[in-house]
Amino acid sequence: MARVLSGIQPSGTLHIGNYFAMMKRMIGFQREHELFCFIVNYHALTSMTDAALLRKNTLDAALDFLALGLDPERAHFWVQSDIPEVTELTWILACHTSQGLLERSHSYKDKIAHGITPNTGLFTYPVLMAADILLYQANVIPVGRDQKQHVEITRDIAVRFNNTFGETFVVPEPLIEDEIALIPGTDGQKMSKSYGNTINIFEDEKTLKKKVMSIVTDSTPVEAPKDPEKCNVFALYRLFADAAHTEAMRARYLAGGMGYGEAKKELLGLIWEYFAPYREKRARLANDPGEVLAILEKGARKTREVAFPTIEDVRRKVGISYNAK
């Protein structure tokens, strides 16, 4: 059994790309592993100034996870800032992290290349992420390709600290899922909030219909056979359908006589049904914000127990504590 940990940015409404690439997979780990899953609101501060929006996004992300089946009894589920020791560890780790290591961060360099004037929080982002991982002694970190280097920086920081002060941290491994196929948005590019092409998980029926019907297809006439592998509608259909339905749909594409409009209608029905039970659960939870807050508070208390021995060990090792033992 591994200790699997990953954090999620509270960036607003989550879409089906997020669901298949990350949330479904994370939630799946709770059955056979020790799952640590949290909402990274401190990281969000590097690029947000709207307090009300951050608060709303944080709770929305919590609602989404709980509605989609994250079980707070099995997993450790919390909001990053509810465990203040993480910022304490960030500072201590920062004092053992060379500036050059952070200057080599691709995501930092990318942001600068895009014209962003970086704040110091953005520069130290990977140290906070290292603290997120090392505080809980996690060993497996499922992340997207874009975050792989951050996990490598975490490894560097952990190894260096262990070498200086003796065994303190588990050195984590990134887990990158290569098979996750590209999930297209309505315009056929990768589904992403920044492209404005998302289909959200908890879309209302009318908007969902509008979005699915607007998925870009080619202009092959109804009667002609169609190539399912080149069709955005089919790429989404297969995520929701079982193998038998996927094969049946593939055959209909290849046979000709089915228009894209028909395939879209079937996809629409599938998406709506797939998320129906989750939608009900989300509505129930959204009606009871007190319960959600209680779940998060309990989650933070339970997870903080795991953080205490690590932070105490660190304080002792670096000399920030009156006890030498």
Q: Which is nearer to ligand TRP, 14 or 258 (CB)?
A: 14
The residue assigned the tokens 């607007």 is: 214
Is position 230 annotated as part of the catalytic site?
Answer: no
DSSP codes, 215-282: -------TTS---GGG-HHHHHHHHHS-HHHHHHHHHHHHH----HHHHHHHHHHHHHHHHHHHHHHH
* Of the residues 27, 37, 40, 307, which one makes contact with ligand TRP according to CB under 6 A: 40
Q: How far is the CB of 78 from ligand TRP (least distance, A)?
A: 12
Is position 226 annotated as part of the catalytic site?
Answer: no
Instruction: Write out the two tokens for 308.
Output: 């205490």
DSSP, collapsed to helix, strand or coil, labels residue 307 as helix
* Of the residues 132, 158, 197, 233, which one makes contact with ligand TRP according to CB under 6 A: 132
With CA atoms as reference, report the closest residue to 310 among 33, 37, 42, 86.
Answer: 86
Is position 190 annotated as part of the catalytic site?
Answer: yes
From the candidates 24, 56, 109, 111, give the one annotated as an active-site residue.
111
Q: How far apart are CA 184 and CA 15, in angstroms?
A: 11
* Of the residues 62, 79, 122, 129, which one makes contact with ligand TRP according to CB under 6 A: 129
x/- letters, 133..172, toward ligand TRP (CB under 6 A): x-------x-x---x--x----------------------
Q: What's the gap between Cα 28 and its chain centre?
A: 13
Q: Which is nearer to ligand TRP, 141 or 267 (CB)?
A: 141
With CA atoms as reference, report the closest residue to 63 among 301, 280, 244.
Answer: 280
* Of the residues 3, 4, 7, 252, which one makes contact with ligand TRP according to CB under 6 A: 7
Q: Which is nearer to ligand TRP, 68 or 133 (CB)?
A: 133
Residue 311 near residue 93, CB atoms below 8 Å: no
Q: How far is the CB of 132 from ligand TRP (least distance, A)?
A: 4
By CB under 6 A, residue 90 contacts ligand TRP: no
- Where in the sequence numbering do the catalytic residues fall? 111, 190, 193
